[in-house]
Each structure stands twice: as C-alpha cells, then as structure tokens.
Amino acid sequence: MWETVVKKRIFTAALIAAGLSGCALGPDFKTPAAPATASDSYTPKPLPQQTASAPGIGGASQQFALGQEIPAQWWTLFRSDALDQLIRNALAQNPNMAAAEAVLRQAQENYNAQSGSLVYPSVNGQLGVARQKASAATAGAGAGVFNLYNASVNVSYTPDVFGATRRTLEGAQAAVDYQRFQLEATYLALSASVVTTAIQEASLRAQLKATREVLDALTRQLNVIEKQFEFGAVPRTTVLSQRNQVAQVAATVAPLEKSLAAAQHQLSVLAGKLPGEAGMPEFALESLTLPEQLPVSLPSALVRQRPDIRASEEQLHQASAAIGVATAAQYPQFTLSGSYGSSAQTFGKLFESDTNAWNLAASLVQPIFNGGALSARRRAAEAAYDAAAAQYRATVLVAFQNVADALRALDADAAALKAQAEAEALAKETLALSEQQYKLGGISYLVLLDAQRSYQQTHIALVQAQAARYADTAALFQALGGGWWNRKNQ
C-alpha cells in the first residue's frame, strides 16, 4: 500500500517538474549574416576572366569559375600521385591531426557528462551495515550491542525552470562544434602545408639545377679563358674576373642545398616521420600540373566554408549561451528529492512492511542579496559576447583578405611569369650571341660577363616565378576553405 502511495507521489512530482520546465532565459543565438558585398567580387576591381599565359612549366592560363564547387581533395587537381599519397599519409600519421581528433573526442565526452548530470534525475543506491552499542542512559531497556542494516534509493532532480540547464548544454554543444571546426582547420592547414612545401622543394630543386648548369657553363668558359691567357690572348684580369664569377655562383649552391634539405625535412615531419626515414618522394615542377579551372566560391558562401570562421562563430555561440546561464542564476532554483528504503537489525528483515521508510521533499532557493555579484556576472557575460562578436568580425575580414590576396596574386604572378619568360628567353639569346662574338673578338670580356650574369639572374627568377603560380593556386584553395564540406563523411 505504502509503495503505491510513494509511486503516485513520485509520479506527481515528476509531472510538477515537467510543468516547471519553462522558457530559457537569455538571448537565442542567431547565426551572423554574411557580409553584404556590392558585387560577387572579392576585390575592389573585378578580376579578368582568365590569367595571362606563358610558355613552359606553370605557364598555362587559368580561368576563374565563380560559384563552382571546390573538390574535397582539391590537391588532386595538381595531378600528382606522389603528392596525393603523401597528403593521405600525413592526414593519417601527423600528430597534430591526432591531437585535434583527441580534443574533439574530449569535448564530446564532456558534453555527454554534462548532459547526463544536468538533464536526468540523480539516482543513487545505498546499502550499509553498522554494529553499535546504545547507551543505557539513553536507550534504557533497549541498551546493548546490536547490528543495523539499511538499504535505500535516493532520487534528486532540479527542474530546468528558467533554462540554466538548456543554456549550459547549448554552450557545451557549441564547444563540441568549435573543436570539430578546429579539426577541419587543422586538416586544411596540414594539407595546404604539404602542398606548398612540396612546391617549395620542387622550386629549390629546379633552382639548384639551374645554378649548377650556370656554374658548369661558367667553368667551361673559365677553361677557355685560361687557355687564351696561356697564349697571351687575354690579360690576367680577365682570368681573375671569370674566376670571381665562378666563385660567386658556386657560393650560392650550398645555401640552396641547405634550403632544399630543410624542405625535405619539413615534408617528413608533416607526414609524421623522422627526417632520416627513407621512402619520401622527391618533387619537381615538371611532375605537377597547374589547374586551369579555379573554382571560386561566392563571397556570401565563404563564411560557411572557412573552418576558422565557423570555429569563431561557435565561440560566439558559447558566449551567447553563457549570458543565459548567468541570467538564470538570478532566478529561483527548485529541487525535488525523494528516497525509499528499509532499515532493520537483521539483514533478513530488510524490506518487510514495518521496516520501510520514505520521504519526498521540495525546496526553492531564491537569491536575495549577494552584493551585486550575479548582476556583475551577467554583465561580464555580455561583455564576453561583445568581445567574441568583435573577434568573429575580425576573422571574417581576414578571411576575405586572404581570398582577395590570393586572387590578385594569381593574376599578377601570371603576368610576372609571362614577362619573366620573355626576359629569360632574351637573356639566353643574348648570352649565346655574346659568346660567339667574344670568340671572334667582337666584344670585350666585360660585355660577356654582363651577359652571363643577366642570364643567371633571369633563369633563377624564371624558376621562382613558375613555382609562385603553383603556390598561389594552393593558397587560393586554402583561403576558400578547402572543400571539406564536400567530403562524403560530412
């Protein structure tokens, strides 16, 4: 009978708790609107539909496809199996990726823990046994040594009347989403770093090759000049000038080798390997294809695609939920509790009708005076929201700047490569003509030396300009968010 009464009262208390769960105080978070732009252009002046073209490596014209989707594995557009495999290995083995994944799991489990402790009633079972002696002065005839067994179930529940629990969980979910976008940002940064480092390695290898070719040509020229000096055809100053030129070019080889080794070491570390491990691929500009179609997201879509913007948005969401928590703390807090159990001097008598005990309780706590602490905490939460909003706007501005810089770099570096290719071709032709004229005695050695220097500088600059076009392309894909939203597991 008593058990039925207890069950009815507990059920009634649950209904009361459900009825008390009212609205959530504080602002309801709304996703910030995308920045209003006067056109679909990221730059003050519209970009041309395609870039300039140039002969040779990396000289293809690139077309800007506004509104076209970015592939999830955007690096495959460079059509390098070695690069694709290296990035896949890096994503699987890089410790930064592993750390970001672990932090996401931690945030999810923290949310689960908060959800379990805040949303559901707290139910605890208790079983105890004690042996004690009662005082004859207080217990009278009942004095003596006896055992006491007890078993009970205690239930406690705090109804979410003013939304403190909902706002707390809202903030916890925003923390999970923040870490999810941080993981995407790590994914994007890692893949972009591998691509740009591979391009840098290819560029340095090409520069080193070009420098050695120039050095070989100068050395052959030195051999000719030294023979001419032996026969008295040229003065010693000519020999010394040529030797100086050879020494200057040779001095640039070691720094290039150092930079190339550093790029190779960086690729190993990005792939989660030690620099000394074997099996790392070597890249050359010739092995990479410059993508001719460049998908460019609409400005209105950028804020939903950049992981750093989405992460900043979730921080703003957390700050918004914190205002609700601080607001709810200024209102009453209700608590419902109950217990049901049994207490007896022998274990076998537990749960007999005359040993049962139960209780139901309800309490209300209303803050009355706290020296303005609760109001100050709410104002602090509002200030934190304003700071998060400002940080969000700053993140958006930087993102649009990144895209604008990448687009302008693509256009400008394409024109620069075209001009550099023309300059290198002219310098090469001039050097060949100068060498013939010098052999025939038509020009002085100083003229030949100027032609050699000019060709060396333009040839190295051409390689750098070629690499810049590949790097600019990778920078654009990174600035646009990398296409993570198109992965099948999203």
Q: How many whole angstroms separate alpha carbon 427 and alpha carbon 415?
A: 18
Which range among 55-64, 190-199, 263-272, 368-377 shows the weakest confidence by mean pLDDT? 368-377
Q: Cα(240)–Cα(243) distance, rounded to whole angstroms?
A: 5
286-325 pLDDT, tens per residue?
A: 999 999 999 999 888 999 999 999 999 999 999 999 999 9
How many Cβ atoms are within 10 Å of 265's Cβ, its own excluded?
Answer: 16
Predicted local confidence at residue 135, as pLDDT: 67
Rounded Cα distance, 251 and 171, in Å: 59
Q: What is the pLDDT of residue 368?
A: 85
338-364 tens-digit pLDDT:
888 788 777 777 777 777 888 888 888
Integer Cα distance of 62 and 456 in angstroms? 28
Who has greater pLDDT, 230 or 122? Answer: 230
Helices (H), 252-306: 253-270, 299-305
Confidence grade of residue 451 (pLDDT, cut at 50, 70, 90): confident
Cβ atoms of 241 and 445 within 8 Å: the answer is yes
What number is the average pLDDT over the span 44-62? 90
Q: What is the pLDDT of residue 347?
A: 76
- Note the pLDDT of residue 12: 43
Reported as a pLDDT band with limits 50, 70 and 90, residue 11 is very low
Q: What is the pLDDT of residue 396?
A: 95
| Gap between the Cα atoms of 260 and 252, Å rounded | 13
- Report pLDDT digits (tens) over 102-129: 999 999 999 998 887 777 788 888 888 8
Provide, rounded to the nearest whole percent, the portion of the chain with pLDDT above 70: 92
Asked whether the predicted pLDDT for residue 16 surpasses 60, the reply is no
Distance from C-alpha of 178 to C-alpha of 411, rounded to nearest angstrom? 35
* Closest of 384, 395, 392 to residue 319, by C-alpha: 384
Among 56-70, 139-153, 233-247, 434-448, the least confident range: 139-153
Mean pLDDT of the chain: 87
Structure confidence at residue 390 (pLDDT): 96
Asked if 457 and 248 touch (Cβ cutoff 8 Å), the reply is: no
In terms of Cα–Cα distance, which of 380, 304, 366, 303 is closest to 335? 366
DSSP for 43-89 reads SSSPPPSB----SSTT----EEEETPPPPTTGGGGG--HHHHHHHHH
Residue 18 scores a pLDDT above 70:
no
In the numeric block, which tokens belong to residue 88?
């896949």
Is the pLDDT at 195 greater than 90, yes or no? yes
d(CA 215, CA 226): 16
- Tell me if 228 sits within 8 A of 237, measured CB to CB: no
Interstrand relation of 63-66 and 293-296 (parallel, antiparallel or unpaired): parallel
Residue 143: helix, strand or coil by DSSP?
Answer: coil
CB 144 within 8 A of CB 131: no
Angle 249-254-256 from CA coordinates, rounded to 5°: 85
**Dihedral, CA atoms, 40, 46, 49, 53, nearest 10 degrees?**
-140
- Identify the residue with better confidence: 386 or 333: 386
Q: How far apart are CA 13 and CA 23, in angstroms?
A: 19
Secondary structure element (H or E) that encloses residue 380, with its range = helix 373-439
Q: Strand pairing of 333-344 and 144-157?
A: antiparallel
Beta carbons within 10 angstroms of residue 14's beta carbon: 15
Give the CATH H-level superfamily of domain 25-121+161-333+376-486. Outer membrane efflux proteins (OEP) (1.20.1600.10)
The confidence band for 46, taking pLDDT boundaries of 50, 70 and 90, is confident
| Contact (Cβ atoms closer than 8 angstroms) between residue 283 and residue 83 | yes
What integer pLDDT is reported at residue 3 of this predicted model? 45
Q: How far, in Å, CA of 360 to CA of 339, rounded?
A: 7
Please tell me the distance from the alpha carbon of residue 421 to that of residue 462, in angstroms, as a whole number: 6
* Nearest-angstrom CA–CA distance, 73 and 62: 19
Beta-bridge mates of residue 65: 295
The residues facing 359 across adjacent strands are 339
Pick the closest to residue 402 from 112, 34, 43 (CA basis): 43
102 has which bridge partners? Answer: none
Which of 413, 459, 407 has its CA nearest to residue 53? 413
pLDDT at 17: 45
Amino acid at site 240: L
Q: Which residues are CB-neighbours of 388 under 8 A, at least 6 positions away? A: 312, 315, 316, 318, 319
How many Å apart are CA 13 and CA 333, to the nearest integer?
Answer: 15
Q: Are 111 and 91 in contact (CB under 8 A)?
A: no
Strands (E), 355-443: 356-365
Cβ contacts of residue 391 below 8 Å, gap of 6+? 312, 315, 316
Q: Is the pTM of this model over 0.75?
A: yes
